[in-house]
Structure 1
């Protein structure tokens, strides 16, 4: 089907925040039937959205990570609610959860308990620092793992000191890794009928993000001093001028480039004199000369000569620039959805299948949007559904019931 995939997978999601929901969104985009089980008042991401970024009464955080899922709101602490959750699990291929280690065990939905319900289940857990070990109970959050993994120190490392990455890259990478692990386990399940326990963590994801840098670091001589570098050098292990530079009207980055090409493109005798130096050992020296040359030129002046000489560079774009980027438009990076009369801009699935980006089939704007449909699929009568909603076992939240700010 154009614009969609069908992978024949039913996923029960006990996920909130970013890592777990992102994982399940990747699976939902690929055609999995993802049923999000959330509290009666909704998962965390429905009630918080950094930057006060709401579209009417809907959190942009929730919009970012819950595409193509269905939502049922259940009080799983009640006997009746727990029974409904178990019925859903019994017919599922995958259970995904990213609560603190032990939370689902206390609810009677831990791995061993779920295997008794569904022996072939793929039980996927995402945590902050793993389920066991001396730090397992510490808070696990993107920024904390950026710090613990060395990512902040390596991202800065120059004259201005360490620098935080400007997005929740660890959470997002953790979600994609967990989705990859689930798909691998699902392939094995199709071949053998066996379930699996899949475990991921933000800590491991933060380290995996740096696999190249860390492997090179531990192999490098005098490694502790290698990370130190000048403000323009973007990486501790690349030759200059790899890094960030300021022009009169813009900022650019220079990637890996031939010294001769750079000298000729900028028609600089100073750069010609440095063509034969070791641009790693003397990276700060070379980068400082480059910075001084570029500081006197505009983007218009360097763009054409860099393109002519095959120099690898890009302008540093803002998010506003990105929205108008012609390549982003060509690739269909952005999508739009109407939310109660207002337009929200979303980021589409990052891959294409047979030349098409998976379509957005649905968006559960409120907790329990699909509660009745899901209960009907379980064989419940309308009268039983009404009773469960009246009892507060099942939620079907109306927009007015959600508040923020």
Structure 2
């Protein structure tokens, strides 16, 4: 892969500097969105590396490089710094003075104990945008509980609302949504700073992000006086609040997702007498009967034949793809969704930035960094001499490293 020179085309957040004190997924993914949009993101990580360097789901490592780390750390520079080492204080003071944003996702109180909390940072940089991402919030009765994606899905009602039985989402949905919300808030605060010269204190939580994901569902539930009985439904029905046949159905050779469609249209498309018989039913109140009838009709259909029938009738549907299908989906290829990063141990497939700016997807200007890969250049830019940098490395305050291979 080649890496682009951002000087050739301006990106929306060029000029913003972000110090990212983040690990796991939510914080790193938020910082990656900002880096993709042109921000100078410095990943300040422990001298042994951030957590995501050492763990990967499915034990997905390419040699010793974590695919989890690769997923959320492109376009960043790495400064490996021991925050507890007394020598790091001088480095941090100079570094903070150059920053627009501090982004951290430690547990509440950790940054204060490290003397890097909002009050301490604001004394160095009064116009700082200081962003804290926690599990449940900076205060409150659940402040100290672990804020991990699955646990948030459970507490926020997402698991109970998914599937005819409580079902966890098949990926870290809350982390990723929380990251997008963080990036949105930071971009908004930066726009405000450019106009007013003032910083902003931003507080985010995975719990709130998990609730925000369900804005439509929760508003419908509370506003219509529903009870938990509303969640009971035929296993083919996709949500508790949609009418049938909205959901996923097994075919002879595949699965198909059917969106909002009049039951009579489905019956006509399939020339189905059995579905015609239930077309006059209330598609929400009698959704189980409608879904069961559609499911029985579809089980003998092949997808190719069903697609022709549905297309002719204007039915909204899609074949259920798996990840192998998605990798070579023609629209995904057209949209430039994926890119390949060559490493010594093999190729990694990455998901690109999801938006286009002036018709272009932001390119990877820098691959995910090696631990401390940019420590020396960052310190040099701050005005430290080669001898001083040598002293910092000798004392263990700083670790310098090489690019990932």
Is the TM value for this pair above 0.5? yes
- Partner of 2:240 in structure 1? 236
Contact between 1:247 and 1:297, CA under 8 Å: does it hold in 2?
A: yes
- Alpha carbons of structure 1 residues 200 and 173: separation in structure 2 relative to 1, 3 Å: same
* TM-superposed deviation, 1:301: 1.6
* TM-score normalised by the chain length of structure 2: 0.96
Tell me the secondary structure at the aligned position of residue 79 of structure 1: coil
* TM-superposed deviation, 1:27: 0.3
Q: How does 1:3-402 map to 2 (within 5 A)?
A: 4-156=11-163, 158=164, 161-340=165-344, 342-397=346-401
Unaligned runs of 5+ in 2: 1-7
Distance in 2 of aligned mates of 1:77 and 1:222: 52
- Partner of 2:4 in structure 1? none
* TM-superposed deviation, 1:247: 0.5
* TM-superposed deviation, 1:273: 1.8
* TM-superposed deviation, 1:4: 4.6
Distance in 2 of aligned mates of 1:57 and 1:217: 47
Q: Which moved more, 1:185-194 or 1:285-294?
A: 185-194
Unaligned runs of 5+ in 1: none
- Alpha carbons of structure 1 residues 17 and 320: separation in structure 2 relative to 1, 3 Å: same
Contact between 2:77 and 2:369, CA under 8 Å: does it hold in 1?
A: no
Contact between 1:4 and 1:356, CA under 8 Å: does it hold in 2?
A: no
Distance in 2 of aligned mates of 1:203 and 1:299: 39
* TM-superposed deviation, 1:3: 8.6
Tell me the secondary structure at the aligned position of residue 273 of structure 1: helix
Tell me the secondary structure at the aligned position of residue 341 of structure 2: strand
Distance in 1 of aligned mates of 2:315 and 2:149: 35
Runs of 4+ in structure 1 off by over 6 angstroms are none
Q: Calculate the aligned-residue CA RMSD, in Å.
A: 1.5
Contact between 2:373 and 2:403, CA under 8 Å: does it hold in 1?
A: no
Contact between 1:41 and 1:397, CA under 8 Å: does it hold in 2?
A: no
Q: Deviations over 1:260-304 (max 9, x none)?
A: 221111110111222221100000000000000001111112011
* TM-score normalised by the chain length of structure 1: 0.96
Distance in 2 of aligned mates of 1:77 and 1:281: 61
Contact between 2:238 and 2:247, CA under 8 Å: does it hold in 1?
A: yes
How many pairs are equivalent? 398
Distance in 2 of aligned mates of 1:252 and 1:384: 63
Tell me the secondary structure at the aligned position of residue 248 of structure 2: strand
* TM-superposed deviation, 1:2: 4.7
* TM-superposed deviation, 1:222: 4.0
Tell me the secondary structure at the aligned position of residue 310 of structure 2: helix
Tell me the secondary structure at the aligned position of residue 65 of structure 1: coil
* TM-superposed deviation, 1:386: 2.0
Distance in 2 of aligned mates of 1:399 and 1:192: 39
Tell me the secondary structure at the aligned position of residue 244 of structure 1: strand
* TM-superposed deviation, 1:341: 5.2
Distance in 2 of aligned mates of 1:145 and 1:173: 12
Q: Deviations over 1:148-194 (max 9, x none)?
A: 000000002x2xx2111000000000011011111111111111111
* TM-superposed deviation, 1:338: 1.1
Contact between 1:173 and 1:205, CA under 8 Å: does it hold in 2?
A: yes
Distance in 2 of aligned mates of 1:363 and 1:320: 25
* TM-superposed deviation, 1:205: 0.2
- Alpha carbons of structure 1 residues 254 and 299: separation in structure 2 relative to 1, 3 Å: same
